[in-house]
Every structure is written in structure tokens, then in C-alpha cells.
Amino acid sequence: MPALSWREYLDEKMLPHLWCPGCGNGIALGALTRALAELQLPRNKVVVVTGIGCWGKADDYLATSALHGTHGRALAFATGVKAARPELTVIVLMGDGDGATIGGNHLIHAARRNIDLTAVVLNNQNYGMTGGQVSATTPVDAVTSTTRYGNPERDFDLCRLVDAAGANYVARGTVYHVPQLDRLIRDGITKKGFSFIEVISPCPTHFGRRNKLGSAVEMMKALKTRAVNVNSPAAKTGELPAGAFLIGKLADRDDPDFTARYAAVQQKAQAKGGFSS
């Protein structure tokens, strides 16, 4: 079989995509297809599960199998796919609102369960699809269409949340640091157990405009200056400048995943003979 190129994971019939100029979604989608191509995963063995939102539209452009569920529930749909057919590679694409705000409960439980899914949460700090409302990842004081006087609430550090909940793999990347993002997604897919990759991305149309963050290019440059590699000396000191965030692999462990643990349950049940009625 000839090697699959990244383009073969895309459904080019569906292009052009609906994302705004300057949006990072296309870059993240490119990173995902390159990771799939590097792993040479057969397209029929990959199920991409998405939620609702701009990033949740990504399945429309993919030539793998896909399930586009409801807002906040993508991880729960994916849990059913994976628990029923552990041999499939299941990748879950969610916006920050989808994956962490309305869907926050499923996120912590997928991590606790350590089920072998790869969640790619694209964090653009607001609800892109519905007009730029506040999200649980909107920084405090930021202006959105529903926080005209500044956000009174604090934002989540999603990576710390998912790490604490027990995921085997936690990473953060940006759509500026593309080769690293490709690797982070690839490693998340190969990792057994729950993998979580937060992708920091600009939303120039809503968040950038309301917070006067400049053009799409300036927002992209800001990703470069604000991101601190977790392996850099600056990261080791533990003191990050205001507005800075860590990128790279933030947690990497090998606890047994749900599939392994449930196989043990099935063995015990079968040894016992099962039917007791």
C-alpha cells in the first residue's frame, strides 16, 4: 500500500472551509492530518468525534469516519465508540466552550477514567460560532459580547485541571508553533489512556477585535512572545511573566487505561460464570 499523505485525510470536496481569515482552526486541522499521516493510520480505523462550534465543524473536512454530536457531549459520544471498539483510534475535537465549559464534567471524567481518547481542545478564549460570548477560558477582565464591562470570572487552566483529574498525557501547543503541535498531537494519539492537547489559537473576528489585540498577524505574533517552552530555562525558574503560558508536554505517565482495566473486569466476570439468575 502506498503511504497516505496528509491530504488524503482531508475531504477536499468540502473545501473551502467556513472559518474566518486569521482563525487558527485550519492550522490545527493541518496539524491533525499531518499527525495521522505520520502514523499512517488507516482512515477507516479512525473515528473523529466533534462537538458544536467553529472547531466542532472540523469533521466536515475530514475523510475519516466521524460523529458530530451535541454541544458539550463529544467526549461522551467518543467514550461509547472507544469502550465498544477499543481497537479504533478515537480523536475528539472540541472548542473551549464545548470541551471545558458546557462539557467540563465529561472532560474531568474522561481524564479520571483514563479512557484511550485523544482530545484536541482548541482554545480561542471565547465562543466563536455564536458571536464571541464569554467562555470558561476567557481571561478575567476580558471583553466579550456578554462581558461588556470586563469578565468578572476567572478562567480555567485546562491543562492543570485535566492533569489533576488523572489523564495519562497533557500537552499545550499553539497554532504558531506548528511543528511542535504536529508532534504533540501525534504523541497524544499513540499514548494509551486519556490524552489532552490544548491548542491556543486566535479569534481575531471576535476576541481580538473586542479586546483591541490588533490584526490576525499581531495576534499570531503574540502567541510567539507569550508561549514559554516547558523545557526552557525560563520555565524551570517557575516564575512566568504576566500573560505567559507553558507549551509542550505537561504530563506524561503510563497508568492503566480504561480498556485494560475493563478487560480485567470481563475476565473476572467470565471466570465467575456470569449469569447468576
Partner 1 sequence: MNIANRSKDKNESTVDRGSKETRRLFLQGNEAIAEGAIAAGARFYAGYPITPSSEIAEACAEKLPAVGGVYIQMEDELGSIAAVIGASLTGVKAFTATSGPGFSLMQENLGVAILGEVPCVVVNVQRSGPSTGLATRPAQADVMQARWGRHGDQHLIVLSPATVQECFDLTVTAFNLAERFRAPVILLADEIVAHMRENVTLPDPAQIKIVNRKKPACPPEEYLPFKPDPDGVPPLADYGSEYIFHVTSSMHGERGYSQNDPANAGAKIKRLFTKLDNHLDEILLVKHHYNPADELDLLIVTFGCTTRPARAAALRTPNLKAGVLQLVTLWPFPDAFIAEAAQKARAVLVPELNLGQVIREVQRVVGKEKPVFGLHKSNGLGFLPAEISARIEEVANQCLR
Ligand X SMILES: Cc1ncc(C[n+]2csc(CCOP(=O)(O)OP(=O)(O)O)c2C)c(N)n1
The residue type of 197 is: I
User: Least distance to partner 1 from the beta carbon of 261, Å?
Assistant: 11
Q: For partner 1, which residue of 7, 12, 15, 45 counts as binding (CB under 8 A)?
A: 45
**Burial category of 2 from C-beta neighbours within 10 Å (exposed 0-12, middle 13-18, buried 19 and up):** exposed
The whole-angstrom separation of Cα 79 and Cα 88 is: 11
Question: Strands 169-174 and 245-252, how do they pair?
Answer: antiparallel
Cβ count near 233 (within 10 Å)? 8
Provide φ and ψ at 111, rounded to 5°.
Answer: -70, -45
The reply to whether 66 sits near partner 1 by the rule CB under 8 A is yes
Shortest distance, position 68 Cβ to ligand X, whole Å: 11
Shortest distance, CB of residue 55 to ligand X, whole angstroms? 4
Interacting partner of 45 out of ligand X, partner 1, none (Cβ under 5 to 8 A depending on kind)? partner 1
In three-state form (DSSP H/G/I as H, E/B as E, the rest C), the secondary structure along 205-229 is: HHHHHHCCCCCHHHHHHHHHHHEEE
261 touches partner 1 by CB under 8 A: no
**Greatest extent of the chain over all pairs of C-alpha atoms, in Å:** 68
Is 273 a residue that touches partner 1 (CB under 8 A)? Answer: yes
> Is residue 269 a contact point for partner 1 (CB under 8 A)?
yes
Using CB under 6 A as the binding rule, whether residue 71 contacts ligand X is answered as: yes
Task: Work out whether 127 is an interface residue with ligand X (CB under 6 A).
Answer: yes
# binding residues, partner 1 (CB under 8 A) = 49
The item of ligand X, partner 1, none sharing an interface with residue 9, based on CB under 5 to 8 Å by kind, is none
Task: Determine whether 176 is exposed, middle or buried from the number of CB atoms within 10 Å of its CB (0-12, 13-18, 19+).
Answer: buried
Give the nearest distance from C-beta 269 to ligand X in angstroms: 36
Q: Which amino acid is at 134?
A: V
Q: Which of 160, 100, 87 is nearest to 126 (CA)?
A: 100
Residue 58 or 250 having the CB closest to ligand X: 58
Q: Point out which span in 26-34, 120-128, 162-170, 207-215 binds ligand X (CB under 6 A).
A: 120-128
Q: Which does 253 bind (CB under 5 to 8 A by kind): partner 1, ligand X, none?
A: none
CA distance 181 to 6: 15
Using the rule CB under 6 A, is 55 a contact of ligand X? Answer: yes
Which does residue 273 bind out of partner 1, ligand X, none, counting CB within 5 to 8 angstroms by kind? partner 1
Chosen from partner 1, ligand X, none, partner binding at 184 (C-beta under 5 to 8 Å by type): none
Q: Kindly list the residues in this chain that would bind ligand X in the complex (CB under 6 A).
A: 52-55, 71, 95-98, 122, 124, 127-130, 135
